[in-house]
Amino acid sequence: MQKRWNILKVNKSATAALQESLKVNASLCSILVNRGVDSFEKAKDYFRPSLTELHDPYLMKDMQKAVKRITSAIEANEKILVFGDYDVDGTTSVASMYQFICKIYDGSFVEFYIPHRYREGYGISKAGIDYAAENNFALIISLDCGIKSIDLIAYAKTLGIDFIVCDHHLPDDVLPDAVAILNAKQKDCHYPYKELCGCGVGFKLMTALAQYYGIDEAHYFCYLDLVATAIAADIVPMTGENRILAYFGLQQINTNPCAGIKALIQLGGIQKKLSITNVVFVIAPRINAAGRMDDAKKAVQLFIEKNTDRALELAKLLHSDNNERKETDSTITAEALALIDNNIELINRKSTVVYQEHWHKGVIGIVASRLTEKYYRPTIVLTRNGDIVAGSARSVVGYNLYEAVHACREHLLGYGGHFAAAGLSMLPENVTAFADKFEAVVAASIEAHLLVPEIVIDADISFNEINDSLYNIICQMEPFGPENMRPVFVAKNVMDTGNSKIVKELHVRFVIKQHDKTFTGIGFNLADKFSVLETKKPFDLVFTLDENEWNGETNLQLKIIDLKLSSS
């Protein structure tokens, strides 16, 4: 599939000024300027994050109310239920908050609750509230959910149960009647940083409670490994407080993680220092698999377990869930691809809607993402769940999926989501009508260029500028994530040396030169681009910088993303 190359513009004057003060590579300075790092002081904060730069938690709207309600519950010996979602953000939030409250309160008055994905669904559940009522809980602290649970929180109030909501999802105009709502995205919340994940909001509440009780910061900084895991998995912007928390959390993951994370690292077979990428692709899927395939409570149990042998046993359960998840997701993806590839009408659509009654509900979101990568168009995967059809939807960059689903609401029982992803449900007899309407809506509203994947390129660079010093500075830009991605470069008028070759029929091992400098590189799944090299003509190359270890030697290599013949 051809891709659009979007080479970001360079602010020449700001880049020159930054280079003058930093004395580093001009291409890197242009990248930093584009990321808002346009002065020596900002660069200092960026390259040397500090926990002292975290904002005062009491700047967050309702923080005082939340602390007052928790402390009064403790003084009155009321039971507290820590409630969270079944994904990585939810389970890490619950594990850290539950442990912290047990430090300041008698643990026999504290429990945690994770709703079952299939029996209770996403977020606050009636079953969870009923459990709280039956067991005499007076206060529920919800993490990574609750901002939209207006009716359920009102129901809890009729049972004499108060709620403190810690959430980061976009609030509606009407808010639940909770004692306190901690969410920096509220219109009247003046907290300086708006992009915390659910675990990050919980961390701020722990910070505020620690300040109230005069507790040493070590008693909540010890959960930074869980906070960093949530930040990585929830794909929130790697800026501001998120970057500080992830930076120090990653340090903790690599030096002194909790027994649960240590066990997941062991099962993941990671021998070297972890990056955020390792957390996203090795640790997070195993945590998420618990909720996808079974019960996410065991993810929380893993994080709060202190005994290393017991933690390893729990981690093995998650590891097993993940293996089952991979097998299930692989099978369903293959079936979905066959459905599309064998149907000329589906192939030529601007959207994808596929449905099979037997598909596992826990992985249809992953399958939707895989189909979106393959065909690059708005995609919905549907399966049967009891008497109704449930679906998961994924969009392409720049297209408002939620609005498209909303336009098809006459065929739906329910739906929810945001710009890039959504969930929906309908009666089985409405599947065909919905698929046709969704295609009509997408075809009428999507701009043609949005159906071509875009590669955002940070800077134009010459091979002569690439050296160990440049790579070392790039490494100091970590942790990478949204709005602070690993720098992507383009090098123009590159030539093949004649030594490049296809590896395992899928990948390309590059040996290429520009002027008099030669680099090796690896291009995964780029075998179909090998013909560009065979022309013996100059080509342009998009890549990131990486290291290759071989026979005890470490050398810089290019990780090739795309290439095309040079236009000049």
User: Based on the structure, what is the number of domains in the chain?
Assistant: 3
For residues 437 and 408, give the distance between their C-alpha atoms in angstroms, rounded to a whole number: 6
pLDDT per residue as tens digits for the range 482-530: 999 999 999 999 999 999 999 999 999 999 999 999 999 999 999 999 9
Chain centroid to Cα 468, Å, comes to 30
Q: Is the domain of 309 the same as that of 418? A: no
Structure tokens at 294: 């079974």
Instruction: Choose the final residue of a domain: 401, 431, 451.
Output: 451
Residues 304, 365: one domain?
no
Nearest to 302 by CA among 321, 317, 289: 317
Instruction: Examine the domain organization and report whether 446 and 462 are in the same domain.
Output: no
Query: What is the per-residue pLDDT for 362?
Result: 87
For residue 479, whether the previous peptide bond is cis, meaning omega lies within 30 degrees of 0, is yes
Beta strands 489-496; 388-394: pairing state: unpaired
Which of the residue ranges 81-90, 284-293, 345-354, 456-465 would you say has the lowest mean pLDDT?
Answer: 284-293
Residues 16-63 pLDDT 10s: 999 999 999 999 999 999 999 999 999 999 999 999 999 999 999 999
**What pLDDT sits at residue 551?**
79
**91: which 2 tokens?**
């389970």
CATH of the domain at 479: 2.40.50.460
Instruction: Please give the Cα distance from 255 to 248 (Å, whole number).
Output: 11
Whether residue 446 lies inside any domain: the answer is yes
CA distance 419 to 410: 20
Per the structure block, which two tokens stand in for 350?
């601007």
- In which band, very low, low, confident or very high, does the pLDDT at 536 lie, cut at 50, 70 and 90? very high
Residue 17 lies in a domain: no
How far apart are the C-alpha atoms of 25 and 217, rounded to whole Å? 38
300 and 421 part of one domain? no
Residue 377 lies in a domain: yes
Helix/strand number for the chain, H first, E second: 22, 19
Q: Which of 235-249, 409-423, 503-517 has the lowest mean pLDDT?
A: 409-423
50-109 pLDDT, tens digit each: 999 999 999 999 999 999 999 999 999 999 999 998 899 999 999 999 999 999 999 999
Q: Would you say residue 18 lies in a domain?
A: no
| Residue 193 dihedral angles phi and psi, to the nearest 5° | -115, 125
Asked if the structure places residue 277 within a domain, the reply is yes
**434 and 491 belong to one structural domain:** no
Does any domain span residue 403? yes
Strand partners, 496: 512
How would residue 480 be classed by pLDDT, with cut points 50, 70 and 90? very high
Closest CA to 556 of 473, 456, 452: 473
Domain hosting 252: range is 57-317
- Of the pLDDT bands very low, low, confident and very high (cuts 50, 70, 90), residue 297 is very high
